[in-house]
Chains A and B, each alone.
Chain A
């Protein structure tokens, strides 16, 4: 991969719209140039330098918080109140410098992170000075809202990830303090917009992939937190749609790329794997559906609409992703798209038939997990992809090993199955390694 300095890339990104407007290059050519520089070149600045800069600013920011947390009695209340502005002013100055001097990624990231931490520390220090009561959701919300503009102005991935962490933390704190955190979806909108813009401009750039991963993780974590849980089991539909939708969208947008280069697909497939495994247990399907609606102070009366709305939104996203990515000849796409349908059918069965259906649902998902693992083993062999093969074998092994313990088989039978599975793993990897070697590829 060629090394091109980030300053040159920045220059190019400024020039391309001008060249486009003066019709020297077409929009398509400009897009190809952008994607070439994002995919085929690396910044002259090593990632380690950025990582150290980020770590340094994180440590200094945290150190300042701790220094102030000592609470210097010798200084008066007014002095301490004024001092609490100091980190924020330093952070703001660094951000202005990073923007004015067109600082590289390391400077922008470290200035942005320091500035963001300084905002939180200033608010916390004023709280300390005036003995303000604990209001974690209020604190996190104010912090997140003040950090939000920096994610756009400084184009800092670190600040963006900090914002996602803050809103994720807020959703938990607000759910516990107020009994609901519906505002989380509003806070997610700017993050969604920013990630969409990054994908449109620089789809394969590392910062886009990191931001997308952060967004997906936040969505997965906070969907569970924000759910009111008034209708037990509705989360099955919501999470199935989220993971399946992400995987299908990843397939549509990033094609056959996998692993780190296709975070949506990887996230979706891992999510589906984990959910499928959970769904193989019959206890999970007990007492679900409309007949078991919950009430009490922490279950709002409108919770059913909130949960229903979130589930509907996620299902809508899944339908869109499924329609866009659907290919009759791709067993992977069909399987991923089928997952929420099977989940919904099982949820309906549990809702209408009651606890008699829980064994049926568990059996269906044992079958699905078996097929899911087998499919990736076959795909891995066909496409000569070790990751797919090993993933498929891991899924299949997990299912077999769990069911073996579940069904109380003898030690002898279990021992033989373990050995056979181990041999299969080794042989399959050896076979794949030889095939790849014969094709002249490196592992």
Chain B
């Protein structure tokens, strides 16, 4: 009986080790094979009790243009595929979306959040411009002492110049590689301020 329990425990341990291993492998594949996209950011800084300090990022390109009628077929938080393109300055934006996984081209697997609307005619008319989506790379973890500084630097950089995140995307999966403010990596910027 003890032997059976021991074998079962060893199998369970193997599965427990395989799960984080698979997580690492999947992220490393995206980093290695993924195409690089630059997303313009607007960062703020919170903390996670399990994972530590991080700079939370929000993105300028977090919506996809479409007609109001197209939105009717979507349920809130429904998974969709957002098709990617680059503007003349090299920054990423989404052109359209689909429920089926695209066979080719660059796309990101994401979720529909809510309609992207705005008031026009001095607040008299509400128009729907498209949909707002959930970008699955809103956290950039940093050493606990550096995260608040990095957030401050990035906030300043967003005001005066451009701040962006380098994101690798491969078969719909995304991994954030680095965040840049004034063309310099946030980690380097925070280290410089330390000195």
Q: Are A120 and B52 in contact (CB under 8 A)?
A: no
Query: Which positions 276-319 of chain A face chain B at CB distance < 8 Å?
Result: 297
How many Å from the CB of A145 to the closest CB on chain B? 9
Q: Are B175 and A120 in contact (CB under 8 A)?
A: no
A133 interface residue per 8 A CB criterion = yes
**B6 interface neighbour in A81, A100, A297, Cβ under 8 Å:** A100
Q: Are A96 and B9 in contact (CB under 8 A)?
A: yes
Q: Are A131 and B2 in contact (CB under 8 A)?
A: no
How many Å from the CB of A147 to the closest CB on chain B? 9
Q: Do A134 and B17 form a contact, CB below 8 Å, given A73-B146, A100-B6? A: no
A415 interface residue per 8 A CB criterion = no
> How far, in angstroms, from A120 to B19 measured CA to CA in the complex?
11
How many Å from the CB of A270 to the closest CB on chain B? 31
> How far, in angstroms, from A178 to B143 measured CA to CA in the complex?
31
A359 interface residue per 8 A CB criterion = no
B86 interface residue per 8 A CB criterion = no
Which of B20-28, B64-72, B116-124, B156-164 touches A?
B20-28
Q: How many A-B residue pairs have CB under 8 A?
A: 114
B15 — nearest CB in chain A belongs to which residue? A146
> How far, in angstroms, from A130 to B173 measured CA to CA in the complex?
12
Q: Are B20 and A126 in contact (CB under 8 A)?
A: yes
**B139 interface neighbour in A68, A122, A134, Cβ under 8 Å:** A134
Which of A30-38, A84-92, A372-380, A422-430 touches B?
A84-92
B38 interface residue per 8 A CB criterion = no
**B77 interface neighbour in A70, A139, A177, Cβ under 8 Å:** A177
A84 — nearest CB in chain B belongs to which residue? B20
Q: Are A124 and B51 in contact (CB under 8 A)?
A: yes
Q: Are A95 and B9 in contact (CB under 8 A)?
A: yes
Query: Which positions 60-80 of chain A face chain B at CB distance < 8 Å?
Result: 65, 68-73
Q: Do A178 and B77 form a contact, CB below 8 Å, given A65-B50, A96-B10, A134-B139? A: yes
B1 — nearest CB in chain A belongs to which residue? A14
How many Å from the CB of B108 to the closest CB on chain A? 12
10 additional contacts, CB 8 Å, given A119-B16, A133-B139, A134-B139?
A68-B52, A69-B53, A72-B143, A73-B187, A89-B17, A92-B16, A92-B17, A130-B23, A131-B54, A149-B12
A132 interface residue per 8 A CB criterion = yes
For A134, list chain B residues within 8 Å (CB): 48, 138-139
For B15, list chain A residues within 8 Å (CB): 146
Highest count of chain A CB atoms <10 Å: which of B8, B10, B51, B54: B51
For A351, list chain B residues within 8 Å (CB): none
**B20 interface neighbour in A71, A88, A99, Cβ under 8 Å:** A88
User: How many residues on the B side are at the interface (Cβ–Cβ under 8 A)?
Assistant: 42
Query: What 0/1 readout, one digit per residue, does chain B (46-60) give for beta carbons within 8 Å of chain A?
Result: 001111111000000
Q: Are B8 and A153 in contact (CB under 8 A)?
A: yes
How many Å from the CB of B153 to the closest CB on chain A? 15
How many Å from the CB of A134 to the closest CB on chain B? 6
**A contact patch SS:** helix
A218 interface residue per 8 A CB criterion = no
> How far, in angstroms, from A71 to B51 measured CA to CA in the complex?
8
10 interchain pairs, CB-CB under 8 A: A68-B52, A69-B52, A69-B144, A71-B52, A72-B143, A73-B146, A99-B5, A120-B50, A127-B23, A146-B12
How many Å from the CB of B190 to the closest CB on chain A? 9
Query: What 0/1 readout, one digit per residue, does chain A (106-133) give for beta carbons within 8 Å of chain B?
Result: 0000000000000111111111111111
B147 — nearest CB in chain A belongs to which residue? A71
> How far, in angstroms, from A357 to B142 measured CA to CA in the complex?
59
A142 interface residue per 8 A CB criterion = yes
For A122, list chain B residues within 8 Å (CB): 20
For B50, list chain A residues within 8 Å (CB): 65, 69, 120-121, 124, 127, 139
> How far, in angstroms, from A65 to B17 measured CA to CA in the complex?
17
Q: Are A131 and B140 in contact (CB under 8 A)?
A: yes
B6 — nearest CB in chain A belongs to which residue? A99
For B16, list chain A residues within 8 Å (CB): 88, 92, 119, 146
> How far, in angstroms, from A149 to B176 measured CA to CA in the complex?
34
Q: Do A133 and B12 form a contact, CB below 8 Å, given A71-B142, A99-B5, A121-B50? A: no
For A178, list chain B residues within 8 Å (CB): 77
B183 interface residue per 8 A CB criterion = no
For A84, list chain B residues within 8 Å (CB): 20
How many Å from the CB of B13 to the closest CB on chain A? 4
B141 interface residue per 8 A CB criterion = yes
How many Å from the CB of B105 to the closest CB on chain A? 23
Q: Are A71 and B23 in contact (CB under 8 A)?
A: no
For B176, list chain A residues within 8 Å (CB): 131
**A297 interface neighbour in B12, B21, B75, Cβ under 8 Å:** B75
Q: Do A133 and B137 form a contact, CB below 8 Å, given A71-B143, A73-B146, A150-B12? A: yes
